[in-house]
Structure 1
Amino acid sequence: MAVSLKMVVHSFCMVFLVMTFLIELGRGQNHCEEVQSCGRQPIRFPFRLKDRQSVSCGYPGFDLSCTQKDKSKKIVAAGASLGAFFLVVLVLITYRAYRSSKQEKENQLRIERFLEDYKALKPSRYSYSDIKRITNQFKDKLGQGAYGTVYKGKLTADFFVAVKILNNSKGNGEEFINEVGTMGRIHHVNVVRLVGFCADGFRRALIYEFLPNGSLQKYISLPDSDSFLGWKRLQDIALSIAKGIEYLHQGCDQRILHFDIKPHNVLLDNNFTPKISDFGLAKLCAKDQSTVSMTTARGTMGYIAPEVFSRNFGSVSYKSDIYSFGMLLLEMVGGRKNTDVTADNTSEIYYPEWIYNLLEEGEDLRIHTEEEKDAKISKKLAIVGLWCIQWHPVDRPSMKVVVQMLEGGDKLIMPPNPFGSTGSTKPRPARRMNLELEAIEEVE
């Protein structure tokens, strides 16, 4: 509890008066010893009241008495001790008042910082002039895509953000509505946080938390580079992404279908914790709604589920995200795109089918693994990925089951062959599956 300055001054004055009285008392003793006597004995302390002795020594209300014991020194010592005690108390009171005042200022500063950060936790609306201030006039450009340009910015001294300036020529504002409408209600460690947005006339922007390690894409596309994260960390990243997707499908009031799960849309913080981003193609639906309707196919080639192109494979649902996640896992395993061109054969090789054939024949994946435990991790990720990319949605596991598979042991059952006719286990001719699918239209 803070002590007021008035109390400190009052205590100091009391100590000063006591010390002054004791000093004057000592001076009075010397005067009495020089000019007074009591028979043959010198006059000494202590003082007595007037009615006890007739000889006064100059102090109003006090007289001197005759004694053979020198008690004056004891009184002075006691007075000095009392004064010293009061002085120590004063110092302690002053120190406590100073510390309390300093602590209170620190508490107020901490609360103010918390309120600033708390404001950033909830998506807030900013003007375009705020956006220019946050990005320092768009000084630090992080990247550019089809829908906009991303800049690094700063909301507070310790809170950095990524600001995405949306292109006016792209779309009818659906991406902006999707991002704000979905991410504004999401709170999960594996989903990037929307800090704020700008809708200032025709200018629109989205403000996200800044993740310094960028996207997962740059850490898995070059298998022999120094940027490889190691199999244990890749397994942790895969599990965290799966938990993030499971949250989108089951953890919110409405089910959120992302429709663009891919390494480029998974961002990594300074601890390499993955966070799903870019909800521009997302759709909301009720949890008990088994399918959703779409007018056009949406997503990125190589990660789009077959049913998104053609309903011959089934209806569009949350299982479409699971297919995309499976393709992401297989890309993590191989450190390469889902299609690639070899030196011996200029035709495009469907990489997931090659992985399946190796596993089915019991061969080693021959992917940069030096230890047996790394080989087990890569095999587990590959098997889970192959379960997720089954052509028919009904054959794919839910994301809850995917999480259990990734958390479980190494003995996973091989899924059915999704690349050929039933019962066939021989390698199939290389092909690109997605380009053969015909996009169809449906009315919302």
Structure 2
Amino acid sequence: MMGVCSLELRGISYFFILFLVFVVSLGEGQNGCHELIRCGGRGQNYTIRFPFRLDTQPDDCGYPIPGFTLSSTHTNDTVLQLPNFVKFFVENIDYKSQVIEVYDPDNCFPRQLRDLNLSSSPFLFKHQPYQYDYAFFNCSSKETQAVDAIFCLSGPSHEVRAFYSDSDINDLPIASCKKMYTLPSISNDQLFGYDNILRLKWDSPKCGHCERKGKGCRLKSNSNESETECFSKHSKGVLLKLKITGIVFSSFLSILAIFALYRIYSYDKAEKENQAKIKTFLEDYKNFKPTRFSYSDIKRITNQFVEKLGEGAYGTVFKGKLSNEVHVAVKMIMNTSKENGEEFINEVGTMGRIHHVNVVRLVGFCADGFRRALVYEFLPNYSLEKFISSVDTKNRFFGWDKLQDIAIGIAKGIDYLHQGCDQQILHFDIKPHNVLLDENFNPKISDFGLAKLCSKDQSAVSMTTARGTLGYIAPEVFSRNFGNVSYKSDIYSFGILLLEVVGGRKNVDITAENTSQVYFPEWIYNFLEQKEDLRVFIEDDEDAEIAKKLAIIGLWCIQWHPVDRPSMKVIIQMLEGGHKLTMPPNPFASTSPTRPKLDQKLDVILEQE
């Protein structure tokens, strides 16, 4: 069977190559010149022919003045070289209208057009509606999301803004700005990057009338000047080639049809199963692999950033949708510092390999110039923090059975990070704010900007700076006096989260004026020792047992020394009722090792790899 398939493929390849040879020779003009088919940036095909030529073709294939010679990049894009070393990529050539469409690969016409002077080239700007003269100003103090900002010219410490050049300068908000230059006749869409097409027209040579008649255009023979003439594209030789090409093409289609019928006939059960496996793999890969979006994609997904979900220290989160059924949350990262850049790379690299029901899925990301964004699955019930630290807690209370389910889900997500991947993933920022809830209030761990990858058999992790959120950071992250940094550091943070769930309050109250208030975990421990209710919402003994269980497990998790904390697998067994729970040692007794105070600054002891 394989031998027959090989012979069929060889036959098809032979006729297909022969067909291509005839098609290429069909377009030959004078002096062996032929049309070249190219593909524009948006997938549109166009041809290169007189008066243009590619720099690999003979000189007499194009019009003999500078400007009509094109070149190719290593990616097979066609480049138009204009005066002052301005280069654009060719999108399309309309020979009838004598217009060439070009685009800037960096989508920044305001930068390119500044240096462009067409007086020494054969091209002129093609007039378009809604073109204006703009003056550009460099503003040292940035205004967030200024509508007149030119993003491709702006930077982290300055912002370039554009205004109509005939505007009264006294009416412009440019007190801290300095004028840079003026650009004539540029459209709004080109200015702000919505239309990345520039149309240039040439008047000479005049070949448009030849094209409209269905004829070709070429240099006139035996003429000392650069005169052109029309010529018929078809000749007897060409007609013969057309007939031969038709025969070859018909033969090719016939053999292709025979081969297709043979393949359908010989399709057995094993090959069908193989195709099904491949299809399943591709679907899974498409669903799990993060997609890279452009900035224009992000604007379309968020409908121009209409619906804001929230705002934090590192950016703003907007609601968007990929389709009518698929909604997403788009986090625009506004800060462009080196540290946040590393966190962005870290989060994309880490979450791209994570696929678990209790870990939020990274749908895609955007890294378009200095614009960066993360696109997550949308979770309609926001974060766990809103339900355990709200002033209106009674109206938001889940019930103890659901709180226990949420705790188990978070624990399984952390256990997956520690043991379920090829490498161990330490989150370092487990807290209620980073636990999101889906439509059924199932928890999903999010925000992997501080995560660290290490091998599963690595007992200690090297760190040069403490990472995490105050109140949730394990003692060993501050100081090696408490032990090595490891996966047990996430367990400490999880323990604080459990105690917050039980107590219905935050571990750290930065606004509290009474600095001598009882340390929050110690407050929980005292309640358990005194056998008092932990929360006013406990209605029966079963709920009281769940609250007590969560509190005891949380206290086991926050033991000062990592070796005294249980593993996440043991914690899951505790939560699911597989262990008999006993009270842990009291870490708050006066005889216990000194614990770090909330307002104490500890020196970080550097660890070696």
The TM-score with structure 1 as length reference comes to: 0.69
Letter matched to residue 191 of structure 1: V
Alignment match of 1:368 (pick from 514, 530, 537): 537
Equivalent of 1:129, from 296, 303, 306? 296
SS state at 2:551 partner:
helix
What is the CA–CA distance in structure 2 between the aligned matches of 1:364 and 1:150, rounded to whole Å?
A: 39
What residue identity is the alignment partner of 1:162? A
Tell me, in whole angstroms, the C-alpha distance in 2 between the residues paired with 1:153 and 1:164: 10
- Per the TM alignment, residue 361 of structure 1 is displaced from its structure 2 partner at its CA by 3.5
Per-residue deviation, residues 110-138 of structure 1 (Å, max 9, x unmatched): xx9x9999745320111111111111111
Deviation at 1:213, TM superposition (A): 0.4
Instruction: Identify if the C-alpha distance between structure 1 residues 361 and 273 changes in structure 2 by more than 3 Å, giving closer, same or farther.
Output: same
Q: Which structure 2 residues correspond to residues 142-181 of structure 1 after superposition, within 5 A?
A: 142-172=309-339, 173-181=341-349
| AA partner of residue 356 (structure 1) | Y
Distance 1:383 1:441, change over 3 A: same
Counterpart CA distance in 1 for 2:433 and 2:349 is 22
CA distance in 1, matches of 2:470, 2:367: 31
Secondary structure in 1 aligned to 2:366? strand
Equivalent runs, 1:263-342 vs 2, <5 Å: 263-340=432-509
Structure 1 position 438 matched with structure 2 position 602:
yes
Tell me if structure 2 keeps the 8 A contact 1:141–1:152. yes
Indicate the larger mover: 165-174 or 251-260: 165-174
Output the amino acid matched with 2:403. L
1:362 Cα deviation from its structure 2 partner: 3.2
Alignment deviations for residues 86-113 of structure 1 (CA, whole Å, 9 cap, x no partner): xxxxxxxxxxxxxxxxxxxxxxxxxx9x
**What do the CA deviations read for 1:372-422 (whole angstroms, capped 9, x no partner)?**
111111000000000000001010001011101000168410001112244
8 Å Cα contact 1:340-1:351 kept in structure 2: no
Deviation, 1:359, is: 1.4
1:168 and 1:203 in contact (8 A); partners too: no
After TM superposition, give the deviation of residue 287 of structure 1 in Å.
0.1
Aligned residues: 327
Cα 1:204–1:221, aligned 2, differ >3 Å: closer, same or farther? same
User: Could you tell me whether the CA contact under 8 Å between 1:196 and 1:208 is conserved in 2?
Assistant: yes
Q: Deviations over 1:324-344 (max 9, x none)?
A: 000000000011011459999
Deviation, 1:350, is: 1.0
| Aligned position for 1:105 | none
Give the 3-state SS of the residue equivalent to 2:453 in structure 1.
Answer: strand
Identical amino acids, percent of aligned pairs: 74
Matched, 1:190 2:190: no
Alignment of 1:360-399 (within 5 A): 360-399=529-568
Q: Secondary structure at the match of 1:156?
A: coil
1:270 to 1:421, Cα distance in 2 relative to 1, 3 A? same
Stretch moving more, 363-372 or 233-242: 363-372
Alpha-carbon distance in structure 1 between the residues aligned to 2:342 and 2:326? 28
Distance 1:216 1:224, change over 3 A: closer
SS in 1 for 2:394: coil
1:240 aligns with 2:409: yes
Instruction: Answer whether contact 2:290 2:363 (CA < 8 A) is retained.
Output: yes
CA contact (8 A) 1:302 1:434 kept: yes
Question: Can you give the 5+ residue segments of structure 2 that lack an aligned partner in the other structure?
Answer: 1-278
- Give the direction of change, closer, same or farther, for the CA distance of 1:117–1:208 in structure 2 (3 Å limit): farther
Q: Distance in 2 between matches of 1:115 and 1:217?
A: 37
One-letter amino acid matched to 2:598? N
Q: Distance in 2 between matches of 1:153 and 1:401?
A: 39
- Larger helix proportion, structure 1 or 2? 1
Write the distance in 1 (CA, Å) between the matches of 2:473 and 2:431.
Answer: 10
TM-fit CA distance, 1:148: 1.2
Distance 2:399 2:383 in 1: 16
* SS of residue in 2 equivalent to 1:382: helix
- Residues 367 and 152 (structure 1 numbering): CA distance in 2 closer, same or farther, change over 3 Å? same
Opposite residue 438 of structure 1, the aligned amino acid is L
Q: Are 1:213 and 1:272, in contact at CA under 8 Å, matched by a contact in 2?
A: yes
Whole-Å Cα distance in 1 between the matches of residues 532 and 322 of structure 2?
53
Select between 361-370 and 301-310 the one with higher mean Cα deviation.
361-370
- Superposed displacement of residue 241, structure 1: 0.2
Going from structure 1 to structure 2, the CA distance change for 1:344 and 1:159 (only over 3 Å counts) comes to closer
**Worse overlay, 208-217 or 351-360:** 351-360
- Asked if structure 1 preserves the Cα contact closer than 8 Å seen for 2:502 and 2:534, the reply is no
Classify 1:156/1:119 alpha carbon distance in 2 versus 1 (closer, same or farther; 3 Å): farther
Tell me how far 1:354 sits from its aligned partner. Answer: 1.2
Supply the distance in 2 between the matched residues of 1:132 and 1:341 (Cα, whole angstroms).
Answer: 37
Amino acid at match of 1:245: I
Q: CA deviation at 1:437?
A: 5.1
Q: Paired residue for 2:387?
A: 219
CA distance in structure 1 between the aligned counterparts of 2:283 and 2:534, rounded to whole angstroms: 51
1-side partners of 2:495 and 2:415: how far apart? 14
**CA distance 1:334–1:249, shift in 2 (3 Å):** same
Deviations, residues 298-325 of structure 1 (Å, cap 9, x unaligned) = 1111100011111111111100000000
Once the two structures are overlaid, the 10-residue window that deviates more, 174-183 or 363-372, is: 363-372
Distance 1:208 1:117, change over 3 A: farther
* Secondary structure, counterpart of 1:198 in structure 2: strand
CA, structure 1 residues 135+120, in 2 after alignment: closer, same or farther (shift >3 Å)? farther
Q: What SS does structure 2 have at the residue aligned with 1:300?
A: coil
Per-residue deviation, 1:365: 2.7
Task: Note if 1:251 corresponds to 2:420.
Answer: yes
Compute the displacement of 1:433 (Å). 2.6
How far is 1:171 from its partner?
Answer: 3.8
Aligned amino acid, residue 302 of structure 1: G
Distance 1:284-1:118 versus aligned 2 partners, 3 A rule: closer
Write out aligned runs for 1:46-61 (5 A).
Answer: none
- The aligned amino acid for 2:604 is I
Of 342-351 and 249-258, the range deviating more from structure 2: 342-351
Matched, 1:405 2:569: no
- Rg (Cα) greater in structure: 1
CA distance in 2, matches of 1:295, 1:380: 36
